[in-house]
Structures are given as C-alpha cells and as structure tokens.
Structure 1
C-alpha cells in the first residue's frame, strides 16, 4: 500500500494544522470550553470556511468528495489540538449515515446545511443495556399511517445536547438483539416527546441522555429501509473507528512532544532529566507505540472503504486494539515522566491522557476489538506484513 500523501492531501494537512496552530492553543481551548455549548461556534464557522465540514460528501451535494484518508488527515490534526467541536458527531457519524443511507432528496436537503455549518447532527445508537453491541436495540418504532412512533432511551449521544437533529436507531421488528429489523429515523431536537439531558464527559466534550416518548417521525424522515439499517450503521461505525484511531495518533504525537520538551527543560540533581538514560529509554518506548499506532491507523483508513465487511472489520478492529494499548502505554509514560504536574488540571498532558482513554472506550475498547478480531479469524500473514 502507498501511504504517501498526494499534493492535495498535503495541502489539506498544512491548512488544517495552520488554522489550529493559530486558533487552538491549550489556553484558548479552555476558553472555548466555558461556552454553554462546550465548544466554539466561531471555530465551527472556520471549519466550514475552509471546507472541512464538506470534506467527505460528494460534490453534487456541496461537498469535496474526500474519502477516509482525507478524514484521517483532519482527525489527526484535531487530535493534536484536542478540539471540542462536534466534527465526529455531525460529519463522520450522522453525516456518514446520510451519505451511505439517505435518499437523494434527503441528501440534497441536509448535506448542504452540514457543509455550510448551519446544521449540526448527532447519532443516538447506544442504550443502557447495549454496551458495545450496535444491534442491541430496545427503542421501538411503530408504524402509524404515514408516520412512525418512537419510544425508548438513548445514552451517551455525543453532542446530542446541542444538535439540531438526531439520527436515532430504533427497532421496527424482531427481537432486541437481532440485526434485522433496525431502522434509522431523523428526529428534530425540539420534537414533542423528545427530552435530553446534557452533561460533560471526562475529556471535556459533551454528550446527552435522550428519552423518546411517543415521538412522531414522518416517512420522509426515515433513512433507508426501516428494517435493514444495520449494515449501514456497522459500516459508518467502522469509518468512525478509523477516524478515532487517526485522532488518537494526533494526540499521541502531541503527548510525546510535550513530554520530550519537559525532559529537556526539567532539571534534577543539577542535570536535565532528559540526559538520564533510563528516561531516554522510556521516551523511545513512547515513540515506538506512536509509530505502531500510526501505521495501524493508516491501514484502517486504507481498508475502511472495502465493500467486503469482514476485511473492513478486521482492519478497523486491529487498529483499535493497537491504539487502545498505545493509549495506556503512552498515557502512563507521559504522566509518570512529568511527575506531579502531569496530574494537574492546569497542565495539558493530563487532558490528552483523559481524551485518549475515552477514545479507547468509544465503540469498543481494545479487549472488545481483540475478541472481535479473533472471531473474524485475525489478520493474515499478508496483512501483517
């Protein structure tokens, strides 16, 4: 596989990194966090101006026709700056469901609003009993004439408290854990019967608990077949996992750099602690973990477009396993090498560690994906090499 970026992809990388370097330092991030929404509307508008919100969508719907590699570039840059804005929720998750499952009329109606920054979406998939199983859906969708009536609860809806619309997975037929019988329904955030409780997550993002009580959804707001949405959900989540791996790599790179800078500056016993060989070895261990994760994130980005589900799932699970293990290894080393200051809220390294820990848990931790990878037969020798 060719992992070199094209000229256009390198320009994209440079433009995002330049924007974030100018507008998203750690202190500015803390200011953005104090907004009631938990992020900066001004930065969201800047993302729209340079085309980031239009990146994965087709040109006929107002997008730029980018793929998983372009998303990887953006997410890695976002990871370096620990952005707070709902890019994953709106563009990767809900936007991915529209891109792969919506009708042409729905795409023409909704995607330009996302691309221009006017419309923010969220994806309600998780439920209290479901853990990491996307098909474990108890929320019910009952047909009533030309409408559907939704009842149920969704938890950990990323940025669900500020979204304009929420894509909800609900069961239109079958038992709770069947993969068939699941539909996707687009619900207005202010729809009668919908209530949401927003809260901050451990890594300073936002999420919401959403309750649906006899919420009515028109047929025109059903995305795809109301009984056959699971393959779309599974594919979009694989894309999201690849994006999260890239974001984690951005975090890892910044964590390593911050730690190296600290080792070069901190003095103990009259010497820079970076001159102590044992600490140099630990810094090298961080670098090895970073590069292993980078390689697997690239592999996931290259494979996530595969139509064959098994190959796609193997790649994304393998990447998630590596990233989850590296999150612990790099996180522990970075905190320990900083000593007590690494645990303070005033210093950035602890915030990075919190975020990569949350990334490990999102859509399944390393143990979950190792189990899934084993059930899929693991990676072949050709894939490993």
Structure 2
C-alpha cells in the first residue's frame, strides 16, 4: 500500500514578515523601555507584591507605550496597528518575562471587547482597558451558568454562577471574559469580579499567577451572543496562540543572547568555552531554533492581519508548535550552558524554564499544537 503524504504550505506572500522601518522603530522603543523598567531584579521584586506585578510598570506600559490600545481600531479609540506590529511588543516584553497582564488583558480581552455584538455598549470597559485602569482576565475553556435578571443586580441584567479554574492573574483582574450557557445556548460574557471569591493556586511560573474564581450571582454583560459565538471564540483562540508564540520567540532570542554572552566570558583551559566546538554546535542549534520561532510567530500574526485568510488556523497552530518546542529546548540548553550558576535561584535562566513549563500547563504545549496541525491537514 502506498502511503499518501499530505503537505501544507503558507498561502500568504512571504513579504508580510519582512521588517519595516516602523516596526524596527517600535522595537527600539520597547527595548529601551524594557532595559529601564524590566530588569530581572525588578521583575523579581514585583512578583512578590500583592498584585503579582508592578502597578507602576503597568501604568507606564499603558501611558507611555499604550500597549492595550495598539491593535484597537481607530474608530474605537485605539491606534489601529496590526497584530504583526503588536507582535514586536510581545517579543520584547516576553523576553523580559514582564509579569504584567499584557497577553491577557491588553491583547486578548481587548480584542474580545472590540468584537462585542454592540461595541458601543462596552466603550467604558474598552476605554478603561486601554488606559490600564482596569484589567480583564480571559477563560475560553471554562463554562459558567447564566440566568436572567435577579435581585442580585436589582433587575439590571443577567448574573452568572460557577467556578472558573486556573484563571491567569485571577487574584488581580477586575473582570473576566468567560463562556456562559443559558437555555442550551452558549454566549461570551464579561463578569464583574468585585464580589467574587478567589483562591490562589500554586504555580510553576512565578511571573504568571493563577487563581480559581468562584462566581455566585455575579453581574455580567453579554459580549457576544449565540449567533456569533463560535466565530468570535475561534478568533480569540487564534489571537491567543499567535500572541503567545511571539512571546516565546522573544524569550528564545533573549536566551541565545544571554548564553552567547556567558560562554564568551567564561574561560577554561585558557580560552573562552564558547570557542569549543561542542559549545558552538549547541549555540548553532539555539540560533536555528530562534529563527524558526521568530519566522513562525511573525507569519501567524501577519496572517491574522489579512482579510479572510484561509490558512490562519494552520499558521497559528504551526507557530504554537514551533515556538513552544523552541522555547522549552532553549531554556534547558541555556541552563546547561550556564553550568552550575544556571541552576541557582539567583540566576534568571530557570525563570525562563518556569515560564515555558507554566505556559504549557496554561495554554497547551507543542504536542497539543501538533495534534491540531494533524487535524487541519487531514493526517
């Protein structure tokens, strides 16, 4: 029996991932910000705070860089940048392991509000998100129960009940975008967490706290009704996957740079260990991984900017698989090549491994992404 081999190739013009002067300038600005405000020592201090991140750095991210407004359409008060531009920010902030809720609140939650059935009904929330004065979590894998008007809201609107497990930044966010079921239909709602009970979870990645959120007659607004629910949730999943891939690409780049710097200055037998052939081969593998990750992530984000791109699902799945594998392999390699110091609590290398492993638990790793690829190409 002849085995049939199925292949899938990018459909968009490769030029969509070429550098542009605007993106290079944006990268320089974000890189300077990270150098000033996102040192590893600063990250360590902020993760020990009550919020789990620096409120001052979060305000600066939104006031100076306006990260939450970048990819919001100008008609809704944003800057109208594309996801490819946003990817530059995610690479740099991911590389610094900034613990602020950029991925969830500034990116995914903001895009959920942009896609609301009635955008005018959530302008207050979107404006607060873009200002950074309100943070919003997102859980697309959990489901709560929605009921009609009750005394809990004085008849003002629906309420939801249920437990949403493992919400990223669950202890700190003010609201939560979550799937709700009512009368056999599923909708996307945003829930006010002012009176919700929250239980912190023990996490691997200290830069991304998680919590179980218990909702009891919590007031909610319907963002997306049943008619558009499937399409909008699909879009939000794609945005999440591509944004996470960009963070992983940034981390892989930082790990390579830090490792090259270390092996260049670490001497043994009268020469830098980076000059040894065995080390060069391992660094070359890290370089190849970095380039694969960056190209895959950039392509996925750029495809999301295309109108009616038919290969968006596949592009994001490939980026998720490639970048998840590369970030994990790079983190392990960086620890090994840093020698004994890389295993210590004082060094940053193991923080990157924690991020890679934590993201695998929160979002799914390379294995899950490859399963999606197989389904998409019919293997």
Q: Matches of 1:254 and 1:38 in 2, distance apart?
A: 23
2:188 alignment partner in structure 1: 184
Q: Structure 1 25/112 Cα, relative in aligned 2: closer, same or farther at 3 Å? A: same
Query: Is 1:201 aligned to residue 203 of structure 2?
Result: yes
* Helix, strand or coil at the partner of 1:118: coil
Is 1:16–1:77's contact at 8 Å kept on the other side of the alignment?
yes
Cα deviations across residues 122-177 of structure 1 (Å, max 9, x unaligned)?
113334xxxxxxxxx4x222334763342221112111211111122112244xxx
Q: Matches of 2:362 and 2:313 in 1, distance apart?
A: 16
Q: Matches of 2:122 and 2:320 in 1, distance apart?
A: 30
User: Which is worse superposed, 327-336 or 239-248?
Assistant: 327-336
Once the two structures are superposed, the pairs formed by residues 201-220 of structure 1 within 5 Å of their partners are: 201-204=203-206, 205-217=208-220
Q: Matches of 1:372 and 1:14 in 2, distance apart?
A: 35
Q: Structure 1 310/158 Cα, relative in aligned 2: closer, same or farther at 3 Å? A: farther
Is 2:40–2:348's contact at 8 Å kept on the other side of the alignment?
yes
* Helix, strand or coil at the partner of 1:140: strand
User: Which is worse superposed, 59-68 or 265-274?
Assistant: 265-274
Q: How far did residue 235 of structure 1 move? A: 0.7
1:254 alignment partner in structure 2: 254
Q: Matches of 2:328 and 2:134 in 1, distance apart?
A: 35
1:123 alignment partner in structure 2: 138
Q: Matches of 1:95 and 1:182 in 2, distance apart?
A: 20
1:133 alignment partner in structure 2: none
Give the TM-score normalised by the residue count of structure 1: 0.87
Query: Is 1:142 aligned to residue 157 of structure 2?
Result: no
1:130 alignment partner in structure 2: none
Q: Matches of 1:18 and 1:378 in 2, distance apart?
A: 45
1:7 alignment partner in structure 2: 21
Is 2:241–2:320's contact at 8 Å kept on the other side of the alignment?
yes
Pick one of 80, 91, 113 that aligns with 2:95: 80
Unaligned runs of 5+ in 2: 1-13
Q: Matches of 1:368 and 1:173 in 2, distance apart?
A: 32
Q: How far did residue 310 of structure 1 move? A: 5.6
Q: Structure 1 378/316 Cα, relative in aligned 2: closer, same or farther at 3 Å? A: farther
Q: Matches of 1:252 and 1:121 in 2, distance apart?
A: 28
Query: Is 1:25 aligned to residue 25 of structure 2?
Result: no
Give the TM-score normalised by the residue count of structure 2: 0.88
Q: Matches of 2:176 and 2:30 in 1, distance apart?
A: 27
Is 1:126–1:156's contact at 8 Å kept on the other side of the alignment?
no
CA-atom RMSD in angstroms? 2.0
Q: How far did residue 361 of structure 1 move? A: 4.0
Is 2:251–2:327's contact at 8 Å kept on the other side of the alignment?
no
Q: How far did residue 241 of structure 1 move? A: 0.9
2:290 alignment partner in structure 1: 290
Is 1:248–1:359's contact at 8 Å kept on the other side of the alignment?
no
Is 2:84–2:305's contact at 8 Å kept on the other side of the alignment?
no
Is 2:178–2:188's contact at 8 Å kept on the other side of the alignment?
yes
Q: How far did residue 18 of structure 1 move? A: 0.7
Is 1:149–1:216's contact at 8 Å kept on the other side of the alignment?
yes
Cα deviations across residues 348-380 of structure 1 (Å, max 9, x unaligned)?
11111211233344432111111111111179x
Q: Matches of 2:375 and 2:140 in 1, distance apart?
A: 23
Unaligned runs of 5+ in 1: 128-136, 175-180, 380-385
User: Which is worse superposed, 320-329 or 342-351?
Assistant: 320-329
Cα deviations across residues 157-201 of structure 1 (Å, max 9, x unaligned)?
111211111122112244xxxxxx22112211114xx31123463
Runs of 4+ in 1 over 4 A off after TM superposition: 306-310
Is 1:171–1:227's contact at 8 Å kept on the other side of the alignment?
no
1:368 alignment partner in structure 2: 368
Q: Matches of 2:127 and 2:186 in 1, distance apart?
A: 27
Cα deviations across residues 312-349 of structure 1 (Å, max 9, x unaligned)?
11110011111122123212211111222212111011
Pick one of 143, 152, 162 that aligns with 2:172: 162
Q: How far did residue 71 of structure 1 move? A: 1.4
2:4 alignment partner in structure 1: none
* Helix, strand or coil at the partner of 1:27: helix
